[in-house]
């Protein structure tokens, strides 16, 4: 037998040789990596990321923001921007509402104003006033304490908070499905799919008539899985500008009740659409009066011009029942948990502006006057555009321009015509023919009408 010392010596030598060989290989690889990185500096970096192109593909550019960028690059003095979803005055300039200026002045002079955190649910003076604005002062939901509200980051934040709440707590016997109008605001799809709620669409806009496809909408809602979440535009439908009549809303409510669907209202244009706050909020108030349990996403971007301040509110209304108040309290507690994990506390400035106006009778009256100014100018532009197209004898019918309401209009122009307008006349709108009426004014409406006339005639 070999001595014990020799038994351990051999492996030690072998291990040493192996270790030396391994260090040599590592050194060689390191030198090769250095040479490779000198030849192609990206080669070393590409091999170390966990987020390569297969895992994180390049996302497409947002179509609307891409359109805005193209407009800014255009140097033609006659260019027209009909893509932007924001109000512009008759000189195509952003308009700060006079009442917002008054509120801003009051806030700046307030000696007690500070920049401390708001509560998780937001500024109470804002959320309570928002509830009354959308539901009505004498709403049974408010009187019976079956509504709760949370301040959000504008309407998008309200949609997200509501979608997240439903994803976590709304359960049905059938697979949960969200239904959007076809077409709808594109961000709806992303907001709800991000919280893993599958979606489908219901017919809404009929190209042949350039009006509401009411029969198609009702048929789809009737055939939808019981308990589906139905997203509805309260007024000034984005992007078509086509709204149901009050009788049609009643029929929609009947079907949703019969199928036990869950209504989720998106309201971004109350007061901005018609100039009448009650009229623009009618559909929501009707559903509440009918005893529906529902959600509302409310934005103050358009009707206060607080685009960048991101002032919004999410409302949950439960059905009338003996335990309604208890239900609301439990829902409110869970909404606070979700809000805390998402944004912790909402931003204060926009909410303070809106609350100052909503809670003061004189300022509220001033705001209503400002709403009439904005909505009135939009309505005037609709009338002017239709009139000029009909004077030119532009092929087709154009009554839908004035039949529609709100900021947007589905013109019926084809993608080919839209691109021709951009190329020939430097007019920018989305490819589906949607225009922002706020981009028209007395200085460019005739130019736009003639450009449309030319594009339609040359693409017939």
Q: What confidence score (pLDDT) does residue 36 get?
A: 56
Which pLDDT score, from 0 to 100, does residue 42 have? Answer: 54
CB 168 within 8 A of CB 197: no
**What's the predicted TM-score (pTM) here?**
0.86
Give the active site residues.
185, 266, 302
pLDDT of residue 10: 44
**In angstroms, how far is CA 236 from the centroid of its own chain?**
14
Domain boundaries, the chain: 63-95+376-458, 117-359
Contact 160, 314 (CB under 8 A): no
Question: pLDDT tens string for the chain (460 positions)?
Answer: 444 444 444 444 444 444 555 555 555 555 655 655 555 655 555 558 899 898 999 988 777 788 888 888 989 999 999 988 899 999 999 999 999 999 999 999 999 999 999 999 999 999 999 999 999 999 999 999 999 999 999 999 999 999 999 999 999 888 899 999 999 999 999 999 999 999 999 999 998 899 999 999 999 999 999 999 999 999 999 999 999 999 999 999 999 999 999 999 999 999 999 999 999 999 999 999 999 999 999 999 999 999 999 999 999 999 988 899 999 999 999 999 999 999 999 999 999 999 999 999 999 999 999 999 999 999 999 999 999 999 999 999 999 999 999 999 999 999 999 999 999 999 999 989 999 999 999 999 999 999 999 999 998 7
Cβ atoms of 420 and 394 closer than 8 Å? no
Give me the pLDDT at residue 397, please: 93
**CA gap 455, 460 in Å, rounded:** 9
- Class of the CATH domain delimited by 117-359: alpha beta
Q: For the purposes of burial, counting CB atoms within 10 Å of the CB of 276, is it exposed (0-12), middle (13-18) or buried (19 or more)?
A: middle
What are the Cα distances from residue 329, in Å, to 146, 243, 326, 332, 342?
A: 9, 34, 5, 5, 20
Q: What is the CATH number of domain 63-95+376-458?
A: 3.90.1150.10
pLDDT of residue 38: 59
């Amino acid at each position: 037998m070999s001595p014990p010392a020799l038994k351990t010596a051999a492996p030690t030598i072998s291990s040493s040789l192996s270790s030396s060989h391994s260090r040599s290989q590592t050194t060689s690889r390191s030198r090769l990596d250095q040479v490779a990185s000198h030849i192609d500096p990206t080669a070393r970096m590409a091999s170390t990321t966990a987020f390569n192109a297969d895992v994180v593909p390049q996302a497409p550019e947002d179509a609307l923001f891409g359109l805005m960028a193209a407009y800014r690059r255009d140097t033609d003095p006659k260019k027209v921007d009909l893509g932007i979803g924001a109000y512009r005055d008759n000189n195509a300039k952003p308009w700060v509402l006079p009442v917002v200026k008054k509120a801003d002045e009051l806030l700046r002079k307030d000696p007690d104003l500070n920049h401390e955190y708001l509560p998780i649910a937001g500024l109470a003076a804002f959320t309570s006033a928002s509830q009354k604005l959308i539901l009505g002062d004498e709403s049974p939901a408010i009187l019976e304490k079956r509504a709760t509200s949370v301040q959000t980051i504008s309407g998008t934040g309200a949609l997200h908070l509501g979608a997240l709440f439903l994803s976590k707590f709304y359960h049905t016997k059938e697979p949960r499905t969200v239904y959007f109008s076809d077409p709808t605001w594109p961000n709806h799809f992303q907001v709800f799919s991000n919280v893993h709620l599958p979606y489908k669409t219901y017919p809404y806009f009929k190209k042949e008539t350039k009006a509401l496809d009411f029969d198609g909408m009702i048929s789809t809602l009737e055939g939808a899985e019981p308990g589906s979440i139905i997203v509805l535009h309260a007024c000034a439908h984005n992007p078509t500008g086509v709204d149901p009549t009050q009788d049609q809303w009643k029929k929609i409510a009947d079907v949703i009740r019969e199928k036990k669907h869950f209504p989720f209202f998106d309201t971004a244009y109350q007061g901005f659409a018609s100039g009448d706050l009650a009229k623009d909020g009618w559909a929501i108030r009707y559903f509440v009066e009918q005893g529906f349990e529902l959600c509302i996403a409310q934005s103050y971007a358009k009707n206060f011009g607080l685009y960048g301040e991101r002032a919004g509110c999410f409302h949950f209304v439960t059905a009338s029942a003996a335990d309604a108040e208890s239900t609301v309290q439990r829902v409110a507690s869970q909404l606070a948990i979700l809000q805390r994990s998402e944004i912790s506390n909402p931003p204060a400035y926009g909410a303070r502006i809106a609350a100052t106006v909503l809670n003061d009778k004189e300022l509220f009256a001033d705001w209503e006057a400002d709403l009439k100014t904005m909505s009135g100018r939009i309505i005037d532009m609709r009338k002017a555009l239709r009139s000029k197209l009909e004077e030119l004898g532009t092929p087709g019918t154009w009554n839908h321009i004035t039949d529609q309401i709100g900021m947007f209009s589905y013109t019926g122009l084809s993608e080919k015509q839209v691109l021709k307008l951009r190329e020939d006349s430097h007019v920018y709108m989305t490819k589906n023919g949607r225009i922002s009426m706020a981009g028209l004014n007395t200085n460019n409406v005739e130019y736009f009408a003639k450009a449309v006339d030319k594009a339609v005639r040359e693409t017939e």
